Chain A
Amino acid sequence: MPPLLPIDLLLIAVAAWLLIGLAGLAAPGNLRYISKRLFPLGALVGLALGATALNFLGSGPQVAVLAIGLPDLPFHLRLDNLTAVFALLLGFASAGISVYAAGYFRKGQGTAPGLLCLEYHFFLASMLMVLMADDAYAFMVAWESMALSSFFLVTTDHKHAEIRSAGYLYLLIAHVGAIAILLSFGVMTSGTGDYSFANMREQHLSPFWASSAYLLALLGFGAKAGLVPVHVWLPEAHPAAPSPVSALMSGVMLKTAIYGLMRVSFDLLGSQPLWWWGVVAMAVGLVTALFGVLYSTVQSDMKRLLAYSSIENIGLLAVGIGLALLFRSYKMPVLAALALTAVLYHCLAHAGFKSLLFLCTGSVLHATKERSLGKLGGLIHPMPWVAWLALVGVIASTGLPPLSGFVSEWLLLQAFLFSPGLPHSWLNMVVPVSAAVVALVAALAGFAMVKFFGIIFLGQAREEALKDAHDAGPWERVGLVWLAGLSLALGVLPSTIISLIDAATRQLLGTGLADRMKENGWWMLAPISPERASYQPLIFLAVITASLLLGRQLVRRLYHGRVRRSPAWDCGYVFQGPRAQDTAEGFSQPIRRIFETLFRMQSHIPTIRDERPYYSVKVEDHFWHWLYLPLARLVTAFSHLVARLQGGRIAIYLLYSFVTLIFLLLVARP
């Protein structure tokens, strides 16, 4: 028996996930068996997958043919370094999420646990198949299975009408995207009829067709990733889904779209890059990032806030891809490698911290039954585990050292700083502006995260019931600690990790950063040269930890050293309570005013004559009113025209057949 290749191991992982899912159907109602046996097994498979992918990185590509599907049309599969990076992400992130899910699902939540288990593991397996597909047929089958299984996961709680409509919106946009992707593949075969990726790499398309394929892929994968303007499903579907599912969708599934975009633009269309492709991706990415972060700052629902923050991160990834495309088309491979490394790194980082944050909202939701920020507060006291682990996620998400988000955003900004080398004066003027926008986005993301953490965990409980909130259970803690550990590892070991993902950049661009970094030692990150910029995460970590401890000791020693709890705002006002704290709406008020034109707001401001004064503000998406509603109206109007044919009258239907018959008889005369 030949030794098992890594690609075989990956296929075994797919099969194992499918089997675990089917095993869930054996006892669909037995929650204990499903959550305490099957989900941890799924997590082990994820861990094994991550380890296999980690082990594989740096090896040459492997291919396999799987004789399932249509006759004469088998699945072509391929494992290369780009796939391995994303399989690593899928494996390690899903391991944490599955362990968490083992403690999360409760009885009486819509879909039966067994069915949920099937959908969940089917979702994981189809994501892995997407990454491994090496022909358009296998890719689309896996892609659609992924969309369908995640649709059913989103609508787990299908008894609520708004959840069903969120699921419908998601499915609709997923299908628009899938059509665009299919068309893109069709263009890339350039009429040869061979849909394997190997054939697409061989084709030399004219600039027009190559650009069409690229733009279709950008639309199609953008619809799945959440690029503006096809982002509207994201803030609806993420709050609707159970938290582990949101974590999986945001942390992992969005990355499969990024993977697809990279596969098409760097690999399949790799031979003829045009410089403006990068500009388009950058422009879309910048708009998306700014849009996402602005909307995330004004949300009052904690999961919507995170969903918009995911849109922002996807925007940053698109900016990085655009920058890499730009550098590559001007034959600057080292800088392209820098930008691409930033993208891959940010994918890993985002998978870690965004899954962590979504899972934390899941724990909060379970403990309090409340998603609205306005009814939370002070949860750090009853829920210390969740609060401190959420803090790790929040810091990583804002891009502060020494955690993961900092490394990737720093690398991205480094790539921007080298852009004056571009031989194009117009671009040289625009790119610094883009860098400024990225910096603004990073700052606003910090604002949103301060709001997220501060309103939920700090201050005093805004409701009485919050005092009885329980902390996360043991399974949930393990999952959260694992993801927080990933964020920390990504933060403090950047050189090691970059030398691992270097294999993928090398595969796509022919060059990487690792050679340059070897001479600097593992503790120091200096992507181009230590003279220009370098970062020593461990020193940062040591300094921050030392100063924190020192500050704490100083406060203890020099100040009175006791913990006092007293009213926070005691200026003689009699009726004060926890409600006097700054609210979620109040906190983001400045942003809402500054960027007023970018939001569509409906607010109610009380007058002095109101019997029951209240303040409310509803922030809506402009795209919804400018793009989607007119489109929907157009479709409805057109459908009404078609519906006229369907009069519901038998005589009319008979007349149709009659006229058709006579017409055909007259037309088809010999």
Chain B
Amino acid sequence: MTASIPLSAQLINLFASVILLLAFAMLAQRRMLPLINLFAYQGLALCMSTLVVAVTTGQHHLYWSAGLTLLLKALLLPWILHRLVRKLHVRFDVESLINIPTTMLVGIVLVMVSFNVALPISQLSSTVSRGTLGIALATVMLAFLMMITRTKAIPQVVGFLAMENGLFLAATSATYGMPMVVELGIALDVLVGAIILGVFFFQIRDQFDSLDIRHMEKLKDG
């Protein structure tokens, strides 16, 4: 059974599962700096999986994608986030609205749902990496869950960026990546988004003396 699966597909599945594992790790991670490191590892794993797909299929633009991913998601964005955390002095533990074990259980349910949902779609696909579609969807869901359960602003941004990782994985696995222009555009959007959010962090902290987004409930009128 195992022999029938080519090595490249096995590698891709390996990296995909690493990404999923890292997503769970991020969900469970309470501290800020390790969270960012986990995000960087996820970017690295994503880069590796893209590289494998590129080597297997010989698609040139996927090399570019992989390089861009490495540069942006494994190096530049984690560095920006590190700097932010240092500047804002927010190394403290991350508080979550729901306790971690419950979050993990919800995460497992989400993974099952995602696989269930992705199954008919991946059967339609003919790519080498089609098996990872469920993983990609699960990564998106887990990142989303992280955004919901965290109360501080920085983990929310990390969740947002991790969601983009999941989407990217889905794109490579289902269709060998999006056209280069789209990918460049998305990469730029993510970068700009991170920078704008960084500016917002300073504003939020100035306004509320804290990065706890629960303070923003005061903003609604009435």
Interface residues of A (CB under 8 A from B): 643, 646-651, 654-655, 657-658, 661-662, 665-666, 669-670
Contact partners of B117 in chain A: CB under 8 A: 665-666, 669
B108: CB under 8 A from chain A? Answer: no
Residue among B120, B151, B220, B222 making CB contact with A651, cutoff 8 Å: B151
Inter-chain CA distance A666–B137, complex, in Å, is 13
Contact partners of A657 in chain B: CB under 8 A: 144
Q: A648-B217, A665-B113 are in contact. List 7 more A-B contacts (CB 8 A).
A: A648-B216, A648-B218, A648-B219, A649-B216, A651-B151, A658-B145, A665-B137
Contact partners of B194 in chain A: CB under 8 A: none
Interface flags, B210-222, vs A, CB<8A=1, else 0: 0001101111101
Contact residues of B between 23 and 59, Cβ < 8 Å to A: none
Interface size, B (range): 20 to 34
Question: A661-B144, A666-B117, A670-B120 are contacts. A651–B97 as well, Cβ < 8 Å?
Answer: yes
Closest CB of chain B to A642's CB: distance in Å?
12
A647/B120 in contact, CB under 8 A: no
B217/A658 in contact, CB under 8 A: no
B217/A647 in contact, CB under 8 A: yes
Nearest chain B residue, comparing its CB with the CB of A649: B217
Interface residues of B (CB under 8 A from A): 97, 110, 113, 117, 120-121, 137, 141, 144-145, 147-149, 151, 156, 213-214, 216-220, 222
Contact partners of B113 in chain A: CB under 8 A: 662, 665-666
A669/B120 in contact, CB under 8 A: yes
Residue among A648, A658, A666 making CB contact with B148, cutoff 8 Å: A658
Inter-chain CA distance A670–B118, complex, in Å, is 10
Question: A646-B220, A647-B217 are contacts. A654–B147 as well, Cβ < 8 Å?
Answer: yes
Inter-chain CA distance A648–B216, complex, in Å, is 7
Contact sample, A vs B, 30 pairs, CB 8 Å cutoff:
A643-B222, A646-B220, A647-B217, A647-B220, A648-B216, A648-B219, A648-B220, A649-B213, A649-B216, A650-B216, A651-B147, A651-B148, A651-B149, A651-B151, A654-B144, A654-B147, A654-B148, A655-B148, A657-B144, A658-B141, A658-B144, A658-B145, A658-B148, A661-B144, A662-B113, A662-B141, A665-B117, A665-B137, A666-B113, A669-B117
Contact partners of A670 in chain B: CB under 8 A: 120-121
Inter-chain CA distance A651–B217, complex, in Å, is 11
Contact partners of A648 in chain B: CB under 8 A: 216-220
Closest CB of chain A to B45's CB: distance in Å?
24
Inter-chain CA distance A649–B77, complex, in Å, is 26
Contact partners of B137 in chain A: CB under 8 A: 665
Inter-chain CA distance A662–B113, complex, in Å, is 8
Inter-chain CA distance A657–B117, complex, in Å, is 17
Inter-chain CA distance A151–B219, complex, in Å, is 32
Nearest chain A residue, comparing its CB with the CB of B114: A665
Closest CB of chain A to B162's CB: distance in Å?
14
Inter-chain CA distance A651–B110, complex, in Å, is 18
Closest CB of chain A to B155's CB: distance in Å?
11
Inter-chain CA distance A201–B144, complex, in Å, is 58
Inter-chain CA distance A663–B189, complex, in Å, is 27
B214/A649 in contact, CB under 8 A: yes
Contact partners of A662 in chain B: CB under 8 A: 110, 113, 141
Contact partners of B148 in chain A: CB under 8 A: 651, 654-655, 658
Inter-chain CA distance A657–B121, complex, in Å, is 22
Inter-chain CA distance A643–B221, complex, in Å, is 10
Contact partners of A669 in chain B: CB under 8 A: 117, 120
Contact partners of B121 in chain A: CB under 8 A: 670
Inter-chain CA distance A403–B144, complex, in Å, is 78
Inter-chain CA distance A647–B121, complex, in Å, is 36
Contact partners of A647 in chain B: CB under 8 A: 217, 220
Nearest chain B residue, comparing its CB with the CB of A650: B213
Inter-chain CA distance A646–B117, complex, in Å, is 30
Contact partners of B141 in chain A: CB under 8 A: 658, 662
Nearest chain B residue, comparing its CB with the CB of A656: B148
Inter-chain CA distance A662–B118, complex, in Å, is 12
Inter-chain CA distance A665–B137, complex, in Å, is 11
User: Which 3 pairs from chain A and chain B are nearest by CB?
Assistant: A648-B220, A648-B217, A654-B148
Nearest chain A residue, comparing its CB with the CB of B113: A662
Closest CB of chain A to B91's CB: distance in Å?
22
Nearest chain A residue, comparing its CB with the CB of B118: A665
Closest CB of chain A to B143's CB: distance in Å?
11
Inter-chain CA distance A643–B222, complex, in Å, is 10
Contact partners of A665 in chain B: CB under 8 A: 113, 117, 137
Nearest chain A residue, comparing its CB with the CB of B120: A670
Inter-chain CA distance A661–B218, complex, in Å, is 28
